[in-house]
Amino acid sequence: MSGTGKMYGYARVSTKEQHIDRQLIALKEYGLKESHIYSDYMSGKDFNRPAYKKLIHKIKQGDIIVIKSIDRLGRNYQDIIDQWRLITQDIGCGIHVLDMPTLNTSGDPKDLLSRFITDMILQVLSFVAENERSNIKQRQKEGIKAAKARGVDFGRPKAKIPKDFWKYYVRWKTGETAPMELVKETGMSTRTFYRRIRELDRRYGNFSPDKIKEIMITEDIPYEHETKEDFIPKPKKDGTPRKPNPNKKLPPDQGGEFIVLVPVDRS
């Protein structure tokens, strides 16, 4: 079956949770040695796979690569065509497809009829596989869109300011403690500290210090929806915070730290 060259098998499943045994059994029954079978546990969306790369570097002119089915080689239409031609035309090897013997080719450049028939069938089958992949993606998009319409929330949860941070905000608002001392007490970065301060100040900035002390926070405070870029300058050397200028945006190397803030309607 393999002429003067050697036979090598290639098997692939998308994940390690999937079973590759059926492919390995079929390859061995075809006469392949276990040491000549290369296996990948990766998606077929491209050919950047370790075992496949080793196989391509191993084969020589006159060898045969055996696969269980065309989709084990890959799933991307154009990539399959390119790899097929690399193996059969550039390297000069044959490919045998166990589930579709009509596709079998020897890699012999003189076998023009076989190569013509193989290329024609291959393009049809590869197109079908690629078209199915596109259909799957389209169905996924439609499913996500329908889920969002039902109110299903995708993505990571919105960040929240822990309710325990409120006491630091009160001390910052009343001026009881120097800002940098508060930063040290919280154990967080200056950027995070001032981002939380700024968010709370957007909501409670018009309240007097006495009124702020009266407010009781019983649950974490979610950040508002982020729609506007702003920055909080680094505090002065003595720890006194600089007043942000919303109309001026400085790069980080000039003392500005960019964050995303939202103006709150206090009307």
User: 2 falls in which pLDDT band (50, 70, 90)?
Assistant: very low
In the chain the domains, ranked by start, together with CATH numbers, are 7-146 (3.40.50.1390), 160-261 (no CATH)
Average pLDDT for 180-204: 85
- Cα 51 from Cα 85, distance rounded (Å): 19
CB 235 within 8 A of CB 179: yes
CB 35 within 8 A of CB 21: no
CB 195 within 8 A of CB 164: no
- Cα 189 from Cα 192, distance rounded (Å): 5
- Cα 23 from Cα 159, distance rounded (Å): 47
User: 98 falls in which pLDDT band (50, 70, 90)?
Assistant: very high
pTM value is 0.49
- List pLDDT tens digits, range 21-52: 999 999 999 999 999 999 999 988 889 999 99
Residue 176: pLDDT over 80: yes
CB 42 within 8 A of CB 49: yes
Residue 248: pLDDT over 90: no
Please state, in angstroms and as integers, the Cα–Cα distance from residue 260 to each residue in 106, 168, 194, 232, following that order. Answer: 62, 21, 12, 10
CB atoms within 10 A of CB 30: 14
CB 178 within 8 A of CB 235: no
- Cα 222 from Cα 125, distance rounded (Å): 52
- Closest to 205 in 3D by CA, of 173, 227, 237, 176: 173
Beta bridge pairs of residue 41: 13
Report percent pLDDT > 90 for the chain.
21
Q: Which of the residues 2, 14, 106, 134 is marked catalytic?
A: 14
Residue 14 a catalytic site member = yes
The pLDDT of residue 85 is 84
Counting every residue written for the chain, the total comes to 267
**Mean pLDDT score of the chain:** 78
Average pLDDT for 188-200: 85
The pLDDT of residue 152 is 73
